Amino acid sequence: MTDLSAVKAALKAQEIETPSWGYGNSGTRFKVFAQEGVPRDPYEKIEDAAQVHAATGVAPRVSLHIPWDRVDDFAALAAFARERGLQVGAVNSNTFQDDDFRLGSVAHADPKVRRKAVEHLLECVDIMDATGSRDLKLWFADGTNYPGQDDITGRQDRLAEALAEVYARLGDEQRMILEYKLFEPAFYHTDVPDWGTSYAHCLKLGPKAKVVVDTGHHAPGTNIEFIVAFLLREDRLGAFDFNSRFYADDDLMVGSADPFQLFRILHEVAKNDGFAPGRQVAFMLDQCHNIEGKIPAVIRSVMNVQEATAKALLVDLDALRSAQSAGDVLGANAVLMDAYNTDVRPLLREVRQEQGLDPDPLAAYRATGWQQRIVADRVGGTQAGWGA
C-alpha cells in the first residue's frame, strides 16, 4: 500500500521552476502574436512568476535567459525576486542569436568566434555569482546543414575544450547542465544531438556536470523514461526542461500532448528516488505560450506536472516489484495503470488546502485581478526573444 501522508509530503516539497521567457511574447517562424499586459523587462517577468508561485505554492524559482534578461544590476534583480518569495533558478546561455554564430558557437572553426562564445558562457557564471543561481544551463544550436560542411570530430574537440574552460570556472556549489537536441536549427547534424553525447561530455568534465532532458528534443517514439532511469542510476540527471510536443520542438504546455508519457517519466523519477532533494534534479518548464494566456498557461503547466507527479507517487512499488519478480506481466502493468488512472485532483486540492492555498490555482489567480492590472499598466510588452 502506498503511504498517503508520504505522497502528500512529497507533493508539498516538489519545486517547479518556471522560465522567464514563458511570460513574454513569443511565436513561431510565421508570426508573433502580441498579448496585452506582457512584461516589458525582466523585473516584470519576475512579478508574473511570483503570481504563479502565489497561486500554486510550488514554483519558487525562475530561470533566466541571457541576453533576453540582461539587466545592469543582477544582484538587484535577485533581491527583487527574493522580496517576492522567489529565487533565480538556472541561468540559460544564448549562443544562437548573434550573427557571428551563423556557423556555430563553441564548435565554430574560427577561434575568434569560439572565444566570443566562451566569454558569453563565463559571463553567465558571473551572473550566477551575482544572483545566487546554482545552474548554468547550456544548449548549443551548433551543427551543420550539409554533409561535408564541417568536420564532425573537430567540432567535438572544440566543444569539449570550451566546456572544460567553463567548467573550471564554476564554484563549488555551482553546476553545468548540458542540454541535447536532435535537430534544429541545424538539420544535417547537431553537435550535442542526444543524451549519450551530453553524458559523455559530462563524464569527462566531472561531477558538477549533468544532463538536461528537454522532453521536446527527441525523435518521435523515443523512450524518454529509459533515458531518465539510466541517468538517475548514474547520478547524471541534472534537470528537466518540460514541455509537450506533437511533431517537433513544439514547446506546448507540459502534459498536454501526452500526459501518459509524463507519468511514465515521473514514475522513473519516483522509483529511482529522483524527487529526493539531495538528488538535485531540477524540474523546469521550457515553454512558450503563443496563442493562450501566459500566466494561466504556466499555472496549468505546473498543475499538470503536479498531477503526473501525484500519479507517479501513487504507484504501489511493493506490489509492482513482487509482480515483476514473479514474472507477472499483466499484474505489473496493472499496478502502473491503476496509479495512472487514479483521479488525483481531489488529493491535490486537499494538499493545497493543507498548505493554506486555494484548492483551485487558476481561480485563485483570476481572483487576484493581476491580469486586469497588468493589461492596464503595461503598455508595449517585449518579446521573449523567441520566434522574434
The smaller minimum CB distance to ligand LRH, of residues 239 and 347, is found at 239
Please give the Cα distance from 180 to 175 (Å, whole number): 16
As separate numbers, helices (DSSP H) first and strands (DSSP E) second, the chain gives 14, 10
Q: Cβ distance 74 to 131 under 8 Å?
A: yes
Confirm or reject binding of residue 268 to ligand LRH (CB under 6 A): no
CB of 69 to ligand LRH, least distance (A): 12
From the list Mn ion, ligand LRH, none, pick the one residue 92 interacts with, judged by a Cβ distance below 5 to 8 Å according to partner type: ligand LRH
CB of 10 to ligand LRH, least distance (A): 26
Bond prior to 67 in cis (omega within 30° of 0): yes
The smaller minimum CB distance to ligand LRH, of residues 351 and 384, is found at 384
Confirm or reject binding of residue 194 to Mn ion (CB under 5 A): no
The smaller minimum CB distance to Mn ion, of residues 22 and 39, is found at 22
Q: Which three cell numbers stand for residue 129?
A: 555569482
The smaller minimum CB distance to ligand LRH, of residues 270 and 288, is found at 288
The smaller minimum CB distance to ligand LRH, of residues 181 and 300, is found at 181
Stretch 207-236 residues interacting with ligand LRH (CB under 6 A): 214
Q: Name the nearest CA neighbour of 67 among 116, 106, 115.
A: 116
The smaller minimum CB distance to ligand LRH, of residues 118 and 178, is found at 178
Neighbours of 360 (CB within 10 A): 16
CB of 215 to Mn ion, least distance (A): 9
Confirm or reject binding of residue 17 to Mn ion (CB under 5 A): no
84 Ramachandran zone, left/alpha/beta (phi>0; psi -120 to 50): alpha
The binding track of 38-77 with respect to ligand LRH, each residue x by CB under 6 A or -, is: ----------------------------------------
Confirm or reject binding of residue 286 to Mn ion (CB under 5 A): yes
CB of 298 to ligand LRH, least distance (A): 15
Instruction: Tell me how many residues contact ligand LRH (CB under 6 A).
Output: 10
* Binding residue for ligand LRH, selected from 179, 191, 194, 225, defined by CB under 6 A: 179
HSE toward the beta carbon, residue 121, CA cutoff 13 A: 31
Residue 212: strand pairing partners? 179, 239
Bond prior to 185 in cis (omega within 30° of 0): yes
Please give the Cα distance from 264 to 222 (Å, whole number): 13
Burial 174-210 (b: 16+ CB within 10 A, else e): bbbbbbbbbeeebeebbbbbbbebbbebbeebeebbb
Please give the Cα distance from 209 to 174 (Å, whole number): 9
The smaller minimum CB distance to ligand LRH, of residues 191 and 214, is found at 214
* Binding residue for Mn ion, selected from 123, 249, 258, 360, defined by CB under 5 A: 249
* Binding residue for ligand LRH, selected from 139, 167, 263, 370, defined by CB under 6 A: 139
Neighbours of 126 (CB within 10 A): 12
Confirm or reject binding of residue 214 to Mn ion (CB under 5 A): yes
Q: Binding residues for Mn ion, per CB under 5 A?
A: 214, 241, 249, 286
Q: Binding residues for ligand LRH, per CB under 6 A?
A: 21, 92, 139, 179, 181, 214, 241, 249, 286, 386
